[in-house]
A and B are shown apart, each in its own frame.
Chain A
Amino acid sequence: MVCLGTLLLSVLHCYADFPMGKGRVALIGTYNYFYSNKYFDEKAKLIKYPTGDFFNSTSYGLTFMAGIGRKVDLNVSVPFVVQSITTSGVKQTNSGLGDANLGLSFHFPSESLTKSFTIKTGVILPLYQNDTLKTPYLGYASTGVQLGAAYAFSPFKQAYATLEFTYTRFLDASEGPNQYRGAFTLSKMLTNYTTLTGSFAHQISRSANTDFSQNISINKNFDGGTISLSLTQRITRTITPSIQGFYTLYGKNMGLGLGASFFVTVRIP
């Protein structure tokens, strides 16, 4: 008895930084919660805000991904952000559409599709304007461009890893910032349907503006490292929900964040 060919279908799953496949589409709905009541000062010392003071942010996002070629993917994401600062018992809240991201990924997979090198380009488009009457600000309110490279591979059985570097430049203000981010992600398939993913990222943001705000989304000059852990469970052929937790390990001029995300990926068809 002979099996009809050994086929590498598994590699066509929507792994990060592997090509999606021409014509394939995925929708990802996300929910993020972020909370911060401490920060790292410019000397990396952890300082707690006065009791009762904190910053939190909730965002809802929709990401559309499409394989527009066998090696080119398009992605568009639009978030809706609600964030607030509570200081001395006074809570300020602002909400609205956040920074949209429009990007193209160019993949260069190995012949066996077990490794892939990716060049990413993207544009950040703020869907809001900062108004002194509406605080806390939702972000820099600046157009930005992104350039990144990622290498995805399988370090051992039923696992894949990604090493990624991204450069982001915000253009509307002379003070930028310029941001550099490096990340390493390791995913292990616990079963055919369940994947555990751990990630470490270090980010450097440089700007002439070295001010620190409790509204961490507008800080421009900081360093920091975060870790995250996520669990992904495929529940039908097309629907895959995930939960994720993240934490800021260290930093300078940066808020210590603690948060959680929930997202659902829907493959079409």
Chain B
Amino acid sequence: MAIEFKIKKITQVLLVLVFVLSTTDGKAFQRKKQTPDVAVKFAPNNSRARFSAKFPIKYKISLTNNLKADQEGTLVYTITNGKGDQVVTNSMDVKVNAKKKLSSSFEIPLDIEGDYTINATLALTDYTENFNGELSYKGPPRKQKDRKGEINPYNTAWATDNINKDAPSNTAVLAPEKMSEAPEPVEEESEEEEGEIITKVKPAHADGLFFDKESIKYSVTITNKYKSKQEGTLNMIIVTEDGKVVNNKEVKLKLGKRGVKHFTMVLPAVKTPGIYNLRVAVNTTTYDDTSEHAFGYDINKINQPFHFPPQFDEYWKGALAELAATDPQYKITKDEGFSSRYHNVYRVDMMGIGNVPFFGYLTVPKLPGKYPVLIGYGGYRRDVLPMKFGDFISFAVNVRGLEKASIDLINPDKKEQIVINIEDKDKYVYRGIYTDCVRAVDFIFSHADMGMDLGRIVAFGGSQGATLGIITAALTPDRIGSAVASNPVFADWTNSLTIGQSKRELKFPINSIDEYIKKEKTLSQSEAIETLNYFDLMNFMPRVQCPILYAVGLLDEFIPPGSAIAAYNKLNPEVKAKSDLYIFPNLGHEVPTSHNVAISTWFSEKTLRKKSR
């Protein structure tokens, strides 16, 4: 492997590269070859550089180093809108060894309608070139269904917003989609043809799960959009969550012009239960692309060891006792702005441990009756709004750290929330956050006269909110009747840190913890884990007594999916038998819209019977 990658700073989903832009008429860049020392080809995937929600802004690039010396440097590109504002700026380290060729494609994170210019500078050891061009994005922003593998709205704080007036700068690395020997220099002029190869792969089972020594089968559909025949290879590589190649299979491809090919790829069964990534690389005459997929094998047998810290139970008994000794100081104020013809909405202010204030929105249908209660918890540092349901009272809980009053108390130094007081388990911010969630349940139970049916209570949330819901159920097992948890995080910290640190790009929360340890030098990683173990979702799972509707995306970047599933497997067998696990192999930190029906059904069915207390 002749190419090395350096990561300076990771702030974003995969971005990329090296490019050279098209001519001003928006046509694909057509570069004449005259035995160049370094040859760069660049073209938008859409031949006219017109993009939409269905066709996100994507460019392909190939870089040929005909020199005897390695070429190393940076690509920086800027997208500017019609007003002259720079809306996206990204940079990337690039290195192409001597006599090598590198090909890739990349997506630009922009989906606001408008006309833009792109300016890029590729500066290598012996080669510098500037590229300019135009592109346009038409229609509405991309919908969730078009964003496979990206984050969902309640987690957007975890990703850098790359489209704002401040034009944040990001650095990524060139994706290694194809690396090969540099071809012999071409003497004659040639033109790059317009088109692309569309590759679709589907696991034999829609949930992407395989069991019992079953072969890993995928159906493959490859469509050649070029006007010429394409020859090359398709390579499927199975990789463990921490990046170790398990096996791979390559087939030769021959595609007629504008031809379509369907076939089934059968890969040998994997041996160890777990989640595996599947890289699908297509390299043909004029097109190279790699896509990432994932599947699970014997996931019911994924079993990570517990890492219980000393006196885990005593620690939480102490925390709950501290909460009980804290005057909740409930203050209920009707919010006329959020109230409607059918619902009264109240802002409920409360005190958590350490006398830190937080609040929730209680939404009560106006129609008389005793209503089941849905307690909703938000994602990492995300506010939650009132939720209006016809058949339920809802309580949207905004834990400490979201309003200025509590931020001033718990985070005067403006640290990343995940590391606030991580040096001391008794002061760690999540001790307060978890007990805030319990206080919200206390509120419900002390205000049954507002229409709450205390025998029918569901805790729910997505991302961090999922974790909060489950942990609340674990800490108040006699009160919560069921939980809905989509994309839970903060599970199996030991394994998550190991896997997270094996990635080329560190993602939240690993990057925040890693940076903090390196910068502050107040604790070691093992000391950080020692604290985190008190707050590890997996350690709470055996204490949950209610059924859970649990959902995991196998391309989740914020937690290794294997860790999330390992936590699920720690449920007591009786609880697990009543719970449901949904796996979405093509999604990252999100669930599909259709899953809302399952959630609604769960709410409806699980609130039929009163919880015996």
Docked pose: A5 CA to B461 CA in angstroms: 9
- Tell me whether B207 is interfacial, beta carbon within 8 Å: no
> Closest CB of chain B to A268's CB: distance in Å?
9
Decide: A4 and B603 in contact? CB cutoff 8 A. Answer: no
- Tell me whether A193 is interfacial, beta carbon within 8 Å: yes
Docked pose: A3 CA to B461 CA in angstroms: 11
- Tell me whether A24 is interfacial, beta carbon within 8 Å: yes
Docked pose: A11 CA to B390 CA in angstroms: 10
- Tell me whether B376 is interfacial, beta carbon within 8 Å: yes
Instruction: Count B-side interface residues using an 8 Å CB cutoff.
Output: 43
Docked pose: A238 CA to B367 CA in angstroms: 10
Decide: B367 and A234 in contact? CB cutoff 8 A. Answer: yes
- Tell me whether A134 is interfacial, beta carbon within 8 Å: no
1/0 per residue B407-446: CB within 8 Å of A? 0000000000000000000000000000000000000000
- Tell me whether B174 is interfacial, beta carbon within 8 Å: no
A-B pairs, 7 with minimum CB distance: A237-B369, A4-B376, A1-B383, A23-B608, A236-B369, A3-B385, A236-B368
Cβ contacts A to B, 12 pairs, < 8 Å: A2-B379, A4-B385, A4-B387, A4-B396, A4-B462, A5-B154, A9-B390, A9-B392, A9-B603, A12-B604, A237-B367, A237-B370
- Tell me whether B553 is interfacial, beta carbon within 8 Å: no
- Tell me whether B306 is interfacial, beta carbon within 8 Å: no
Chain B residues 596-613 with CB under 8 Å of chain A are 596-597, 599-601, 603-605, 607-609
- Tell me whether B507 is interfacial, beta carbon within 8 Å: no
Q: In the assembled complex, which residues on chain A have CB atoms less than 8 Å from the CB atom of B603?
A: 7, 9
> Closest CB of chain A to B467's CB: distance in Å?
14
1/0 per residue A171-186: CB within 8 Å of B? 0000000000000000
Closest to A113 in B: B597
Q: In the assembled complex, which residues on chain B have CB atoms less than 8 Å from the CB atom of A51?
A: none
Chain A residues 1-42 with CB under 8 Å of chain B are 1-13, 21-24
- 7 additional contacts (CB under 8 A) given A3-B387, A111-B594, A235-B368: A2-B384, A5-B596, A8-B597, A8-B600, A11-B600, A236-B368, A237-B365
Decide: A12 and B601 in contact? CB cutoff 8 A. Answer: yes
Interface hub of A2, A10, A111 (most chain B Cβ within 10 A): A2
Q: In the assembled complex, which residues on chain A have CB atoms less than 8 Å from the CB atom of B607?
A: 269
Chain B residues 267-325 with CB under 8 Å of chain A are none
Decide: A5 and B605 in contact? CB cutoff 8 A. Answer: no
Chain B residues 106-165 with CB under 8 Å of chain A are 153-154, 156
Decide: B601 and A70 in contact? CB cutoff 8 A. Answer: yes
- Tell me whether A88 is interfacial, beta carbon within 8 Å: no
- Tell me whether B588 is interfacial, beta carbon within 8 Å: no
- Tell me whether A192 is interfacial, beta carbon within 8 Å: yes
CB-contact partner of A21 in B387, B389, B604, under 8 A: B604
Closest to B453 in A: A269
CB-contact partner of A9 in B342, B391, B605, under 8 A: B391
Docked pose: A12 CA to B604 CA in angstroms: 8
- Tell me whether A112 is interfacial, beta carbon within 8 Å: yes
> Closest CB of chain A to B389's CB: distance in Å?
5
Q: In the assembled complex, which residues on chain A have CB atoms less than 8 Å from the CB atom of B387?
A: 3-4, 7
- Tell me whether B378 is interfacial, beta carbon within 8 Å: yes
Q: In the assembled complex, which residues on chain A have CB atoms less than 8 Å from the CB atom of B597?
A: 8, 111-113
CB-contact partner of B389 in A9, A238, A269, under 8 A: A9
Closest to B610 in A: A269
Q: In the assembled complex, which residues on chain A have CB atoms less than 8 Å from the CB atom of B368?
A: 235-237
Which B residues are within 8 Å of any A CB, using their own CB? 153-154, 156, 341-342, 365, 367-371, 376, 378-379, 382-385, 387, 389-392, 396, 456, 460-462, 465, 486, 593-594, 596-597, 599-601, 603-605, 607-609
Decide: A7 and B596 in contact? CB cutoff 8 A. Answer: yes
Main secondary structure of the interface of A (DSSP, over half): loop
Docked pose: A112 CA to B599 CA in angstroms: 12
Decide: A9 and B604 in contact? CB cutoff 8 A. Answer: yes
Q: In the assembled complex, which residues on chain A have CB atoms less than 8 Å from the CB atom of B608?
A: 23-24, 269
Closest to B370 in A: A237
CB-contact partner of B383 in A2, A11, A112, A235, under 8 A: A2
Given contacts A2-B383, A9-B604, contact A237 B461 (CB under 8 A): no
Closest to B402 in A: A1
Decide: B391 and A7 in contact? CB cutoff 8 A. Answer: no
Docked pose: A10 CA to B384 CA in angstroms: 21
Docked pose: A234 CA to B365 CA in angstroms: 12
Decide: B596 and A1 in contact? CB cutoff 8 A. Answer: no
Q: In the assembled complex, which residues on chain A have CB atoms less than 8 Å from the CB atom of B370?
A: 237
Decide: A235 and B604 in contact? CB cutoff 8 A. Answer: no
Given contacts A4-B378, A4-B396, contact A112 B600 (CB under 8 A): no
> Closest CB of chain B to A117's CB: distance in Å?
16
Q: In the assembled complex, which residues on chain B have CB atoms less than 8 Å from the CB atom of A236?
A: 367-369
1/0 per residue A227-246: CB within 8 Å of B? 00000001111100000000
Decide: A2 and B604 in contact? CB cutoff 8 A. Answer: no
Q: In the assembled complex, which residues on chain A have CB atoms less than 8 Å from the CB atom of B153?
A: 2
Decide: B384 and A4 in contact? CB cutoff 8 A. Answer: yes
Decide: A8 and B367 in contact? CB cutoff 8 A. Answer: no
Decide: A4 and B465 in contact? CB cutoff 8 A. Answer: yes
Docked pose: A192 CA to B154 CA in angstroms: 28
Decide: B367 and A193 in contact? CB cutoff 8 A. Answer: yes
1/0 per residue A150-172: CB within 8 Å of B? 00000000000000000000000
Closest to A114 in B: B597
Closest to B155 in A: A2
Docked pose: A236 CA to B451 CA in angstroms: 12
Docked pose: A11 CA to B601 CA in angstroms: 10
Q: In the assembled complex, which residues on chain B have CB atoms less than 8 Å from the CB atom of A13?
A: 390-391
Q: In the assembled complex, which residues on chain B have CB atoms less than 8 Å from the CB atom of A21?
A: 601, 604-605
> Closest CB of chain A to B426's CB: distance in Å?
30
Q: In the assembled complex, which residues on chain B have CB atoms less than 8 Å from the CB atom of A111?
A: 594, 597
Q: In the assembled complex, which residues on chain B have CB atoms less than 8 Å from the CB atom of A237?
A: 365, 367-371, 391
> Closest CB of chain A to B373's CB: distance in Å?
13
Q: In the assembled complex, which residues on chain B have CB atoms less than 8 Å from the CB atom of A113?
A: 597, 600
> Closest CB of chain A to B414's CB: distance in Å?
21
Docked pose: A131 CA to B604 CA in angstroms: 48
Q: In the assembled complex, which residues on chain B have CB atoms less than 8 Å from the CB atom of A1?
A: 383-385
Interface hub of A10, A12, A13 (most chain B Cβ within 10 A): A12
Q: In the assembled complex, which residues on chain A have CB atoms less than 8 Å from the CB atom of B594?
A: 111-112
Q: In the assembled complex, which residues on chain A have CB atoms less than 8 Å from the CB atom of B367?
A: 193, 234-237
Q: In the assembled complex, which residues on chain A have CB atoms less than 8 Å from the CB atom of B379?
A: 2
Q: In the assembled complex, which residues on chain A have CB atoms less than 8 Å from the CB atom of B369?
A: 236-238
> Closest CB of chain B to A65's CB: distance in Å?
15
